[in-house]
Amino acid sequence: MDESARQQATAAMHASVPFLGRMGLEVVELAPRHCILRAPFDRNGNHFGAMYAGALYTLAEVPGGMLFNTSFDTARYFPLVKGSQIRFRRAARTDITVEARMDADEVVRLSAEADEHGKADYDLTVELRDTDGEVVAEMTSTYQLRTHGSLT
Amino acid sequence: MDESARQQATAAMHASVPFLGRMGLEVVELAPRHCILRAPFDRNGNHFGAMYAGALYTLAEVPGGMLFNTSFDTARYFPLVKGSQIRFRRAARTDITVEARMDADEVVRLSAEADEHGKADYDLTVELRDTDGEVVAEMTSTYQLRTHGSLT
């Protein structure tokens, strides 16, 4: 992904959810079933000199939506986040990055399940890493793939 | 708490963690072992017309720090958040409020435990409600009370 494509994807994300623009969340890589995002340390700190928990949660949650957009037929499905479990491992004192992937087989399987039942649940686990590669937090979220019109 | 005290407490919170100012988080009530906070729907929406998950997580997490500040001896202790489990129950389509309380007995017990061991873990469970009083999300976070100097 070249710099121009990165900037375009980042701008689209900020336009979609302004909350993400205000924290300066950046798209580093975005491809079918793969994304890398980065949250800048500057402007997301807390009063202890670490990145604030809400910024870390957000960085960990957004890949679910990004993977959905690049992996599923968005004309047919939309995603809901049902819940998340986050564990903070160490203070985050640099820019923080998250990378997430989804298997092609799982996309096929979940799409078929949603076609049959109107919905399909799946978990996504991600690690947040600092610029030394150390894991500062890990999170598992449960998403639900829904067919349009399946929510009353 | 009168309006002037609310504004002062809100401004102090925003100065401490600018992330919270950018989402417009407001202190509604703040007293020993009790707080009420509100997140405005405006500026915190997602592309589905609901409040974004990261804003809801943040609204649910901040009471831990606010209760710490009003309940414990801050000259002696500081809090860490170790992790959170959030469950989203329904789409949040209004301003959202959270209320949190802590028992006086628990403050005494946790302070004594931290004095003895340098740390004491505790859970805090909160519900997020819309302006109709419906629960849109619930979260349990694990905090750790630490004595200053107990982290190497």
pLDDT at A47 over 90: no
Query: Computed over its alpha carbons, how large is the radius of gyration of chain B?
Result: 16
CB contact under 8 A, A19 and B44: yes
Q: Give the span between the Cα atoms of A84 and A63, in whole angstroms.
A: 13
B23-26: Cβ within 8 A, 24+ apart: B23/A19, B23/A22, B23/B55, B23/B58, B25/B58, B25/B59, B25/B62
* Residue of chain B nearest A138, judged by CA positions: B83
Angle between the B53-71 and A53-71 helix axes, to the nearest 10 degrees? 170
Res B149: pLDDT: 83
Q: Give the span between the Cα atoms of B39 and A108, in whole angstroms.
A: 38
Tokens representing A128 are 């947040």
Interface contacts (A, B; CB < 8 Å): 88
A48 in contact with chain B, both atoms CB, cutoff 8 A: yes
Angstrom distances, CA of residue A96 to CA of A3, A4, A142, A151: 19, 22, 22, 35
Q: Which helix (H) or strand (E) holds A115?
A: helix A104-117
Chain A positions in Cβ-Cβ contact with residue B84 (cut-off 8 Å): 53, 57, 84-86
Asked if A144 and A121 touch (Cβ cutoff 8 Å), the reply is yes
Best of B25, B48, B57 to substitute, by most chain A Cβ atoms within 10 angstroms, is B57
User: What is the tens place of the pLDDT at every residue in B68-110?
Assistant: 999 999 999 999 999 999 999 999 999 999 999 999 999 999 9
Res B150: pLDDT: 80
A69 in contact with chain B, both atoms CB, cutoff 8 A: no
Chain A positions in Cβ-Cβ contact with residue B85 (cut-off 8 Å): 83-86
Asked if B122 and B108 touch (Cβ cutoff 8 Å), the reply is no
Nearby residues of A29 by Cβ (< 8 Å), 6 or more positions away? A1, A6, A35, A36, A99
ipTM of the complex: 0.96
B128 in contact with chain A, both atoms CB, cutoff 8 A: no
The residue among A19, A118, A95 whose CA lies nearest residue A62 is A19
Around B61, how many Cα atoms within 13 Å sit in the side-chain half-sphere? 28
Asked if A140 and A113 touch (Cβ cutoff 8 Å), the reply is no
> Measured between CA atoms, how close is B113 to chain A, in angstroms?
22
User: What is the tens place of the pLDDT at every residue in A106-145?
Assistant: 999 999 999 999 999 999 999 999 999 999 999 999 999 9
* Residue of chain A nearest B21, judged by CA positions: A22
